[in-house]
Structure 1
Amino acid sequence: MKNFIIQSKYKNFLIILFWIIIWEIFALIINQEIYLPSPISTFQSLYKLLFSQDTYITILYSTYRTLFGFFISCILGIIFGYFCGINKYLFDLFNPLVSVIRTIPVMSIIIIAIIWFKDTNVPIFVAFLMCFPIIWTNTIYGIKETDIKLLQMCKVYNISKIHIVKSVYFYSALPYIKSGMLSALGISWKVTSAAEVLSLPKYSIGSHLYDSKVYLEIPDLFAWTLIILFLSILFEKTLKLLFKMGDSND
């Protein structure tokens, strides 16, 4: 088992190294950092950013906006998903609205949000609106996949609806909710960064991305992109770890 873990780590390292080499080859071929900076210049920019206090303040604010929008979408998505999953009339009422939200282009939502909210609240609203349909849909799917025989047994033994919702529907929908949360978390980082680029709130990764583009500091642009990638992976792995801890406690 130990050897397998070591081999897996080496494998992941070699895969990352392979793509960095491919990146370096393309950078050498293009030979213009304004289009594609080399890995060396990108990591040099990243190194400078990591030794700047402003970088960590920026990461803190962007993380707050991302997670706040994500958590609101989880809470409301699960609550509304439960009610819509067990009540067909509520589902028919909310389904068109959620379908519209799901199909609206992200850029349209960002522009509308800029008109409606302060610049610092725009990313939160956009993250919420993009993640909510995922959580809502997964919750409903989980409830609809509840074992019919189990529900029939509950009916025979006159188990109250509250206990059915808490015990039967909850555990049926839980794997779907977890899957939806993981998907939504990854999307929330993308849409929050996009919203920050347009709304330009103070202390935001998006504003640094925008400045890098305006001043043609492309290595910085790539460095901030790597930071977003790292944060997304970090929080996704943290969420998976929390799910595993919760499963082990059960």
Structure 2
Amino acid sequence: MIIDQEIYLPSPITTFYALIDMLKTTDTYITILYSTYRTVAGFLISCGAGIVLGYFCGINKLVYDLFNPLIGIIRTIPVMSIIIIAIMWFKDTNVPIFVAFLMCFPIIWTNTISGIKSTDVKLLQMCKVYNINRLRIIKSVYFYSSIPYIKAGMISALGLGWKVTSAAEVLSLPKYSIGRFLYDSKVYLEIPDLFAWTFIIIMLSILFEKLLKIFLRGLYD
């Protein structure tokens, strides 16, 4: 009301109407489906790699010392640099998947290691006294000790995944992507559409975070 300029800040009503218009078109749902696929794919790959490698690094100091500097470098690289490099390496549709993976992976890896290192020492000593084999210790002791940490890491990584996937889509511009529509909204000054797509990203992020919590609650509880 103070600014009174839709091009700078559209009113909630204008944004709502823009959102309704979007939801009437098939392209909107196809776009949401493709962007969701890229985010979830990058997230799942990072979870698989982060948990497996995290276990190896958590139970073996030599492996940890080998990978720790590399993960530290990945953690400090600016997201924009990774996106631009990925654009040079991959097809436009695969860039967001790679970026989501690379950004989420360190979170999962770090939390997995933290969970393993938090394992009760007395439990490990008991396993040693009763000569329990290494594989069973990993499955029955380290696994349950690390689950709360992995759970927290996955929730954090998923939220980050939506942000970096959208950013990667804005620069790589795959055919069906929320990022492309964000870019087009900026170019053509369709600011209500920009806010509407942003609202969709927020809702998708909240929805998938709740679904992940439900899934992990069953796994942990």
TM-score range, shorter chain: over 0.9
Task: Tell me the TM-score normalized by structure 1.
Answer: 0.88
* Aligned twin of 1:51: 24
Q: Which residue type is aligned with residue 83 of structure 1?
A: F
3-state DSSP class of the match of 2:2? helix
* Aligned twin of 2:12: 39
1:72 partnered with 2:45:
yes
* Aligned twin of 1:24: none
1:181 partnered with 2:154:
yes
Q: 1:115 aligns with which of 77, 88, 96?
A: 88
3-state DSSP class of the match of 1:101? helix
Q: Which residue type is aligned with residue 127 of structure 1?
A: A
Q: Show structure 2 runs of 5+ residues with no match.
A: none
Q: Which residue type is aligned with residue 74 of structure 2?
A: I
1:199 partnered with 2:169:
no
* Aligned twin of 2:113: 140
Q: Show structure 1 runs of 5+ residues with no match.
A: 1-27
* Aligned twin of 2:145: 172
Q: Which residue type is aligned with residue 192 of structure 2?
A: P
Q: Which residue type is aligned with residue 50 of structure 1?
A: L
Q: Equivalent residues in 2 for 1:153-164 (5 A)?
A: 153-164=126-137
Runs of 4 or more off by more than 6 Å in structure 1? none
Give deviations 1:82-107, integer Å, cap 9, x for gaps: 00000001101100000000010000
What CA distance in whole angstroms lies between the structure 1 residues aligned with 2:149 and 2:57?
15
Aligned length, in residue pairs: 221
Contact 2:147 2:220 in 1 (8 A): no
What CA distance in whole angstroms lies between the structure 2 residues aligned with 1:76 and 1:245?
22
* Aligned twin of 1:125: 98
Q: Which residue type is aligned with residue 112 of structure 1?
A: I
What CA distance in whole angstroms lies between the structure 2 residues aligned with 1:174 and 1:214?
45
What CA distance in whole angstroms lies between the structure 2 residues aligned with 1:48 and 1:56?
12
1:217 partnered with 2:167:
no
Q: Which residue type is aligned with residue 180 of structure 2?
A: S
* Aligned twin of 2:77: 104
* Aligned twin of 1:12: none
Task: Tell me the TM-score normalized by structure 2.
Answer: 0.99
* Aligned twin of 1:17: none
CA RMSD of aligned residues (A): 0.6
Give deviations 1:109-162, integer Å, cap 9, x for gaps: 000000000000000000000000000000000000000000000000000000
Give deviations 1:214-247, integer Å, cap 9, x for gaps: 0000000000000000000000000111122234
* Aligned twin of 2:2: 29
What CA distance in whole angstroms lies between the structure 2 residues aligned with 1:202 and 1:70?
21
Give deviations 1:160-209, integer Å, cap 9, x for gaps: 00000011000000000000000000000000000000000010000000
Q: Which residue type is aligned with residue 109 of structure 1?
A: I
Give me the identity figure in percent.
76
